[in-house]
Structure 1
Amino acid sequence: MTFVLVVDDDPAIVRTLGINLRARGYDVETAADGRSALQVVEERLPDVVILDLGLPDLDGLSVLQRLRERHALPVVILSARHQTDDKVEALDSGADDYVTKPFEMEELMARVRAAVRRTSAGEPPLVVEAEGVVLDVTERHAERDGAPVRLTPTEWHLVEVLARRAGHLVSQQDLLREVWGPGYGRESHYLRVYLAQLRRKLEADPANPTLFLTDPGQGYRLVAQRSAG
């Protein structure tokens, strides 16, 4: 049974999430503040954490950063903070996904399922290789010419979406919605910024990419061979 830790100081949200998660067969524990959440994690490692950012003691980002120092478990942010900067900071700090309040329960449940599925031991490893670059999406390990390369969580999320359709065009809209959420679709500048970062880190000649290709006005494709790991 999948164990979910819900971290939120709003009793109504905690109750609603608990009812809906348990109805879908999840084992649920709750925490109303950051310190309690960290204590739960030390006592019993969850399969996924649903984490509010506005906690009464530790800020949710601090909780996220402490989790990331020791664990690779998936974390879905559930927050009333709607600003793009907040979302980017959370994703770059290690969040796997970000859902804003008020939220649709079915959407949140889908995000939780996806986060668990991405880190499930039963899922076949996803590894792509091309021109000296190895991207192990499952383990989130990247190498270029044998040297490790550090990618941010948002960069990894983009790589994952592209790697799952390696060799095929992924539209700008699909990338934005899968990485940033269903409310996105026109913020193409996000993609330009992050793809430029990926090219600087992984391409032999970022100005003339051969790995991360742009189809102008349409989307992007990852030119690499998918292997079993």
Structure 2
Amino acid sequence: MLIVDDDPDLLSLMAETLDLEGYRVDTSTNGVRALDAVEKVMPDLILLDMKMPVMDGAEFAKRFREAHDHEAPIVIVTAADNAHRSANEIGANGWLGKPFDLDSLLEIVASQVGAADSG
């Protein structure tokens, strides 16, 4: 799994929570780094912030889909009021609104990944 978010505290919280649940987690702080990461190891899920410096979530999703089609599902993680619309616009498989509780995070991940021992 790849978590892409420029907020270091939220990135750490999400990564630690999912790691404790048995998921293998990689992180990136912007879309450029995330594109580099998926070239090395294709994640089974991408949790993607939409507003980041260097390359935002929408641009990352566009470039990812161009290069890799739908090899990994994308769930956007955003504070935007129109999270559902943003998810549809980039072809995301789901969305999680910020702020969120950890149970909601685990539910959306489980719905996309399935077994907790997946990468």
Q: TM-score, normalised by structure 1?
A: 0.47
State whether residues 91 and 98 of structure 1, in contact with CA within 8 Å, keep that contact through their aligned partners in structure 2. no
* Structure 2: gaps (5+ residues): 115-119
Between the aligned partners of 1:77 and 1:64, the Cα distance in structure 2 is: 10
Instruction: Give the C-alpha shift of residue 92 in structure 1.
Output: 3.3
Q: Deviations over 1:49-94 (max 9, x none)?
A: 10000111112111111111232111111111122xx531332321
Check the 8 A contact 2:75/2:87 in 1, yes or no: no
Q: If each structure's strand is expressed as a fraction of its own residues, which one has the higher value?
A: 1
**1:34 — aligned with what?**
31
> Percent of aligned positions with the same letter in both sequences?
36
The structure that is helix-richer by fraction is 2
| 1:101 pairs with 2:98 | yes
Corresponding residue for residue 8 of structure 1:
5
Mind listing any 5+ residue stretches in structure 1 that lack a counterpart? 118-229
- 2:45 is aligned, of 45, 48, 71, to 48
Structure with greater contact order relative to length (CA < 8 Å, sep ≥ 6): 2
How far apart in 2 are the matches of 1:82 and 1:41? 29
* Equivalent AA in structure 2 for residue 5 of structure 1: L
Partner residue in 2 for 1:121: none
Aligned counterparts of 1:90 and 1:24: Cα–Cα separation in 2: 25
Deviation per residue, 1:81-138 (Å, 9 max, x gap) = 122xx53133232100011100011111111111124xxxxxxxxxxxxxxxxxxxxx
Query: Moved runs in structure 1, 4+ residues, more than 3 A?
Result: none
User: RMSD of the alignment, in Å?
Assistant: 1.2
Q: Which has the larger radius of gyration?
A: 1
Say whether the 8 Å CA contact 1:38–1:67 is kept in structure 2.
Answer: yes
Q: What is the TM-score with the length of structure 2 in the denominator?
A: 0.88
Alignment partner for residue 64 of structure 1, among 50, 61, 80? 61
